[in-house]
Chains A and B, each alone.
Chain A
Amino acid sequence: MTTLRRPRVIYTNPSRAARPKPEASGTERFWWYFMRLSGLALVILALGHMFIMHVLVVLTGDEINFAFVQSRWGSPFWRIYDFALLVLAFLHGVNGARVVIGDYVNHRTARSLILGVLLVISGIWLVAGMAIIIFFDPSTQSVAGPLS
């Protein structure tokens, strides 16, 4: 995690209204490129996901339920699609949150602490998310879960 202090972009580059490309090569510049390349992929992945789930499903009179997930994740294509969407959106979003925290929290110790908590929670969440997509078994008929 970075300890670099960054100027608030809005004052240094009012016409682009975004973070300027870091001058030095290294981690910060990697993430700068990562935000842009993952952003391009997410235009297809994230908007496509919303379009399928909230527009096509409505227009075709379908409904999102267990059977829907069964047939969708029965196909490797959609499983890989959703996996790529999960990982890219998560890394993109969490790195974005990291930049935002770096902008507002000036106290060194507080910043390290908050970034540490963000990193740990995000790690657990991302692994859990990947596990759901990997371990879901579309052939299960009606397994009674612990809550049912």
Chain B
Amino acid sequence: MINLFGYRLSWAQLAWFGHRASGLGVLLFLFLHIVETSTVLLGPEVYDFTQTFYQNLPAKLGEVLLMAALVYHALNGLRVIAMDFWPSLTVYYRPLTYGVIAATIISMVPLGIIMTRGYLPWG
């Protein structure tokens, strides 16, 4: 149990909420991504100009957030799928959920460093 702003939340609730929020966030980006990619039909000038929207630090941080959302959603989704098809795994839901959260954080360290390369103030 976690105490958040006076609400008592279980890890299961938090994992579920994170899955929902990350899924909706990635979907929102997918809608924008289709609009932005459509400029490729308008030729190199327009497309290369659109891509400059991504070439700054705030956008790179947004990409890191998108990556974190997708990595968490994918790992937690695999946990859900595994438990759906092998119900006996439900016994291990707690260590599996901790594992998903830990693996997301750990994998985001190198990913975050690579994805912001050349855009951070210190190089």
Contacts and interface: CB of A to CB of B under 8 A. Distances in A.
Interface of A: 9-10, 14-18, 21, 36, 39-40, 42-43, 46-47, 50, 54-55, 58-59, 64-67, 69, 86, 89-90, 93-94, 96-97, 100, 125, 128-129, 132, 135-136, 140, 142-148
B42 A145 contact: yes
B41 A66 contact: no
B78 interface: yes
B80 A50 contact: no
Given A39-B81, A69-B47, A55 B111 contact: yes
Contact of B44 (A15, A67, A86): A67
Give 10 closest A-B pairs by Cβ, nearest first: A145-B42, A93-B27, A66-B44, A17-B16, A148-B45, A17-B12, A145-B43, A18-B80, A129-B34, A143-B43
A15 B12 contact: yes
Interface string B39-68: 111111111100100100000000100110
Given A50-B70, A132-B38, A145-B46, 17 more contacts: A14-B10, A15-B90, A16-B12, A16-B93, A17-B80, A17-B93, A47-B70, A47-B71, A59-B114, A65-B48, A66-B40, A66-B44, A86-B34, A90-B30, A125-B31, A132-B34, A145-B41
B42 A147 contact: yes
Interface string B6-17: 000010110110
B-side binding surface: helix, strand, loop or mixed? helix
Query: How big is the B interface, by class?
Result: 35 or more
A65 to B, nearest CB: 5
A-side binding surface: helix, strand, loop or mixed? helix
24 contacts: A10-B16, A16-B90, A17-B93, A17-B97, A39-B77, A46-B74, A50-B66, A55-B111, A55-B114, A55-B115, A64-B54, A66-B40, A89-B30, A93-B26, A94-B27, A96-B23, A100-B20, A129-B34, A132-B34, A136-B41, A140-B43, A144-B43, A145-B41, A147-B46
A46 B78 CA distance: 14
